[in-house]
Amino acid sequence: MKPLQPSEALAKVVGTKPLPRTQVVKKLWEYIKKNDLQDKKNRRNINADANLKPVFSGKSQVSMFEMTKLVSKHLS
């Protein structure tokens, strides 16, 4: 998979170096787990913190399926 450049907003979470999409998702999950952002009741939902909110189009909570769609908008 070819490396993709993360946007400025996404770079705050995964770093500024170009990464393959698989690594971006892996780093995103590491960040989510490290900061305990998975919803307590419904583990399929991710609660956005200040760094993730711009990546999630301003939403405070998204499903993990919606997250991948929103993140791909931040890769070029």
pTM over 0.85: yes
| Within a domain: 35 | yes
Domain for residue 29, yes or no? yes
Residue at 18 is within a domain:
yes
Q: Is 51 contained in some domain?
A: yes
Question: Per-residue confidence of the chain (76 residues) as pLDDT tens digits?
Answer: 899 999 999 999 999 999 999 999 999 999 999 999 999 999 999 999 999 999 999 999 999 999 999 999 999 9
CA-nearest of 55, 5, 7 to 46 is: 55
Task: Find how far residue 17's CA is from the centre of its chain.
Answer: 15
Q: At 12, list the tokens.
A: 């705050």
- Residue 44 is classified by DSSP as T
* Residue with token string 């791909």: 72
Residue 67 forms part of a structural domain: yes
- Residue 35 lies in domain: 8-72
The reply to whether 3 falls in a domain is: no
What pLDDT does 43 receive?
A: 95
Where residue 12 sits, what CATH number does that domain have? 1.10.245.10
How many domains is the chain built from?
Answer: 1
List, in order, residues 6 or more apart from 59 with CB less than 8 Å away: 48, 53
